[in-house]
Structure 1
């Protein structure tokens, strides 16, 4: 069903179209700058995306203990391996696990560099 009232048959003026379009610049009741507003909305969406990515990375261990922080390394022949956290927090405890694979009756010696002892506190072995 179509509207055949005299109002519907009148040609629309630019002022009428601006009243109907929410995104058209207006001067009444207040002056607005819709181009500036769209830029602001775009900036807000980008900022929200960046914050969301940071939260997801933090939950996965980028800044602390988690899957992204855990790492292991081993020497040639897999005789010595080390498990540690890549990202440490000042004052927080962390765990470093050294694993030496030797013969069952052999004695293994681990030497720790002085630089590690200067920067970290060993609480237990």
Structure 2
């Protein structure tokens, strides 16, 4: 399996969110998946790519969206999803969202968890 992308899933006050992810086994896999995502012009121009994965240890990054990586990580932990990277991308629309940005990160991760491809093709 490779990178799965769900684009333009949330819009609020000009900001647009996407969520992506896929299985990874190490930090190099995380870096490769982030590079694959940002190799497209649209995603390269995004404001934030917050992400988390649980490998041998939990890993996360906010990419300027303070607290977003921790939210993603907590959701992966509660789902018991290890060896998997989830990336929430935001294109900033010019208006601050305040606490709503956390609600959107949660909504994006929920969307990914509900729609991601499963091994063997089952959903």
- Do Structure 1 and Structure 2 share a fold, with TM-score over 0.5? no
Report the TM-score when normalising by structure 1: 0.26
- Normalising by the residue count of structure 2, what TM-score does the alignment of the two structures yield? 0.27
Greater RCO structure (CA 8 Å; 6+ sep): 2
Query: Which structure has the greater CA radius of gyration?
Result: 1
Q: Which has the higher strand share?
A: 2
